A and B are shown apart, each in its own frame.
Chain A
Amino acid sequence: MIEEKRNVLERFKSSGRFRGEGILAFALILPSLLVVGWIILYPILRTFWMSFFDIESPLPGSYPFVGLHNYFAAFKSSDFRMVTEHSLYFTFVSTFFELTLGILIALLLNSPLKFRGFWRSIVVIPWALPTIVNGALWKWIYNGNYGVLNELLHVFHLGGQGHNWLGSPFEALNMVIIADIWKNTSLVVFFILAGLQTIPSDLYEAARVDGSTPVKSFWNITIPLLVPSIMVVVILRTIDAFKVFDIIYIMTKGGPASGTQTISFYTYQQTFSNEYFGYGSALAYLIVIFTLVIAWFYIKLLRQGTLEGVS
């Protein structure tokens, strides 16, 4: 009976009703295309087009064509070099710490803890907190006169009286990064934990029988098998960190002395405060290119790692 049904199914699969799926597929995808396409595709092309013109107002009109001048202007500008450095620093430092802490916390949550469900719930909280609320909260914690961070340091006799944590350029950048790490490490934990749960426990058992120590097992079994999860999360976090805007806006508005100006924030200011729409468009495209380069670089690097892990 089952055999018969399977035969019917096989014949059915190769029959005409399974062909002509293209039309149905198109019909099903069309709504998404309409919703996404007109408001994504057009702007992408439009931004590209605008980046070749010297547009200095939001009003329609005819503006001089300047070719690649906006791009050259960006590369010649020392501001652009500075904000790119800030963005790279922000991206690498925050991604590095989020990954390291994320792996440690995931290992912790995967260990035989009492009330494991409770600890796992706690980790969800920073992730769910809206970015703007997170930024406002940390700005308040860092406050020089009334901030709880100074008071905490004071209680433990570590100084910190009246210190304004967002007062000097490089320190402010690092403090913003800490706020970002506090919120976004959770995402890394989710991915690594999901990866850890797919590793069969008999692998560890076998390694132990063969005389492997837990530390050795971690480097020889856990890390190589986690590489796919690490790869996904590092790419996600890098792309997100590189376009960081919200937390800068709420915490420092790019200051002090442009110390926390990242490339997205700089683009925003050039475009919407100074109304350099043409230059802003070129900057936006440079961000896209940087993002692609970083993503490509990671994929290449990590793919090599995967192969090593296998062999």
Chain B
Amino acid sequence: MKPARAYTIFIHVAAVLMGVVILGPFLWLFISSISPAKELISVPFHWFPSHPTISRFKDIFLQSANGENVSANFRVSMVNSFIVATGTTFISILVGSLGAYAFARLKFRFRRTMLFGFLSVYMLPPIVLVIPLYLIIANMGLLDTKLGLIITYCSLITPFTLWTMSNYFRTLPADLEEAARVDGCTRLGAFFRIVIPLSKPGLFASALFAFLLAWDEFLFALIFTSTTNSKTIPVAIAEFAGKYSSDYGLVCAGGVLAALPPVILALIFQKNIVGGLTAGSVKG
């Protein structure tokens, strides 16, 4: 049956409206980042700069870091964020998938209880953990280090990778592993030779989440970091945006750069992300 014409027009108008509301603010972030500071605060209002400039991006990438230079600090913070997020992703995927396999395939006592125990970590407001963690990290001498952040993030994100990987493993047919074991493979052998190669899409989606979560995290980074030694990009942006005299164009330029890695990843791997995120939720 062909849908009615009015209906077709209605849904397309609605889709365009949605597109404008979603893309508008994002576009404004970009336009502000290439507007000269003078034009950003001049009357009449500029919808698009008469002299667009990429000088802020140049500054961020090229200026030398001396602690005071905000542009260069953005670059250093981006690198910090990248190191912290990558390290966290790697460890939490490795550790999480081992545990996830146990939850997905093995029978043991307190299986459900333990799984919900891990899951409830996600429900905890971070503010509950941050007070004593601050004291622990301080005692270990890991305040203002990337390692301190990686350790913290791993413990927050591993429950998440454990949960998503366990859901993924459960979608794989168990027959394959059992057949391999009849042919003489051990449990672990079957896990590494059969399950892991089959789980690439799931591992990939979980790794993406882990990366996005670590890239986005703010509260712990705010409290645990104090210099460019470990400041991540959200902290650098928040700090600079909080000053009264700040050039908001530079905030937007930093914002564009901070947004690019997650947005590009999310756009390219949209299907994996949406599938991985909602896995296990729709069965009811």
A-side residues, CB < 8 A to B, are 5, 8-9, 12-13, 17, 21-22, 24-26, 28-29, 31-33, 35-36, 38-40, 42-44, 46-47, 50, 58, 60, 105, 108, 111-114, 119-133, 135-141, 143, 145-146, 148, 151, 182, 187, 190-191, 193-195, 198, 227-229, 232-233, 239, 242-243, 245-246, 249-250, 253, 264, 267-268, 271-272, 277, 280-281, 283-285, 287-288, 291, 295, 306
Cβ A288 vs Cβ B22 within 8 A: no
Which residues of the partner chain B approach A198 to less than 8 Å between Cβ atoms? 282
A66 to B174 alpha-carbon distance, docked (Å): 56
Cβ B125 vs Cβ A58 within 8 A: no
Contact of A253 among B25, B242, B275 (CB under 8 A): B242
Q: Does B128 contact A (CB under 8 A)?
A: yes
Q: Given that A31-B95, A111-B11, A264-B125 are contacting pairs, would A43 and B106 also be in contact in the complex, using a CB cutoff of 8 Å?
A: no
A295 to B122 alpha-carbon distance, docked (Å): 13
Cβ B234 vs Cβ A32 within 8 A: no
By secondary structure, the B interface counts as helix
Cβ A129 vs Cβ B281 within 8 A: no
A40 to B106 alpha-carbon distance, docked (Å): 25
Cβ A122 vs Cβ B278 within 8 A: no
Q: Does B57 contact A (CB under 8 A)?
A: no
Cβ B102 vs Cβ A25 within 8 A: yes
Cβ B133 vs Cβ A39 within 8 A: yes
User: In B238-275, which residues have CB < 8 Å from any A CB?
Assistant: 238, 241-242, 248, 251-252, 255, 258-259, 262-263, 265-267, 270, 273-275
Cβ B125 vs Cβ A182 within 8 A: no
Q: Shortest distance in angstroms between A45's beta carbon and chain B's nearest beta carbon?
A: 9
* A197 nearest CB neighbor, chain B only: B282
Cβ B40 vs Cβ A146 within 8 A: yes
A228 to B238 alpha-carbon distance, docked (Å): 37
Q: Given that A22-B109, A141-B28, A194-B274 are contacting pairs, would A132 and B218 also be in contact in the complex, using a CB cutoff of 8 Å?
A: yes
User: In B80-102, which residues have CB < 8 Å from any A CB?
Assistant: 91-92, 94-96, 98-99, 101-102
Interface size class, chain B? 35 or more
Q: What are 26 A-B residue pairs whose CB atoms fall within 8 Å in the complex? A: A17-B181, A26-B108, A28-B106, A31-B94, A32-B159, A35-B91, A36-B159, A40-B155, A42-B132, A43-B128, A43-B131, A44-B128, A47-B132, A112-B3, A123-B22, A125-B22, A128-B267, A130-B215, A133-B237, A140-B28, A141-B25, A146-B40, A182-B25, A191-B278, A243-B125, A253-B242
A148 to B3 alpha-carbon distance, docked (Å): 39
Cβ A148 vs Cβ B28 within 8 A: yes
The stretch that binds A, out of B60-68, B134-142, B199-207, is B134-142
A187 to B133 alpha-carbon distance, docked (Å): 29
Cβ B23 vs Cβ A125 within 8 A: yes
User: In B1-31, which residues have CB < 8 Å from any A CB?
Assistant: 3, 8, 11-12, 14-15, 18-19, 21-23, 25-26, 28-29
Chain A proximity mask over B114-137: 1 for CB below 8 Å, otherwise 0:
100010010111111101111110
Cβ B152 vs Cβ A124 within 8 A: no
Q: Does B151 contact A (CB under 8 A)?
A: yes
Q: Shortest distance in angstroms between B13's beta carbon and chain A's nearest beta carbon?
A: 10
Cβ B218 vs Cβ A113 within 8 A: no
Cβ B99 vs Cβ A32 within 8 A: yes
Which residues of the partner chain B approach A135 to less than 8 Å between Cβ atoms? 238
User: In B35-71, which residues have CB < 8 Å from any A CB?
Assistant: 40-41, 45, 47
Cβ B181 vs Cβ A114 within 8 A: no
Q: Does B198 contact A (CB under 8 A)?
A: no
Cβ A137 vs Cβ B132 within 8 A: no
Q: Which of B3, B40, B94, B222 has the most CB of A within 10 A?
A: B222
Cβ B218 vs Cβ A249 within 8 A: yes
Which residues of the partner chain B approach A277 to less than 8 Å between Cβ atoms? 131
Contact of A246 among B94, B215, B219, B241 (CB under 8 A): B219
Chain A proximity mask over B225-236: 1 for CB below 8 Å, otherwise 0:
000000001100
Cβ B127 vs Cβ A287 within 8 A: yes
* A12 nearest CB neighbor, chain B only: B182
* B42 nearest CB neighbor, chain A only: A146
* A21 nearest CB neighbor, chain B only: B106
Which residues of the partner chain A approach B212 to less than 8 Å between Cβ atoms? 128
Q: Given that A21-B106, A229-B281 are contacting pairs, would A140 and B251 also be in contact in the complex, using a CB cutoff of 8 Å?
A: yes
Contact of A295 among B28, B123, B128 (CB under 8 A): B123
A190 to B275 alpha-carbon distance, docked (Å): 9
Q: Shortest distance in angstroms between A151's beta carbon and chain B's nearest beta carbon?
A: 5
Cβ B18 vs Cβ A108 within 8 A: yes
Cβ B40 vs Cβ A124 within 8 A: no
Which residues of the partner chain A approach B107 to less than 8 Å between Cβ atoms? 21, 25
Q: Given that A36-B121, A40-B129, A249-B218 are contacting pairs, would A113 and B251 also be in contact in the complex, using a CB cutoff of 8 Å?
A: no
Q: Does B34 contact A (CB under 8 A)?
A: no
* A137 nearest CB neighbor, chain B only: B29
Cβ A229 vs Cβ B181 within 8 A: no
A245 to B16 alpha-carbon distance, docked (Å): 32
Which residues of the partner chain A approach B282 to less than 8 Å between Cβ atoms? 191, 194-195, 198, 228-229
Which residues of the partner chain B approach A140 to less than 8 Å between Cβ atoms? 28-29, 32, 248, 251-252
Cβ A151 vs Cβ B45 within 8 A: yes
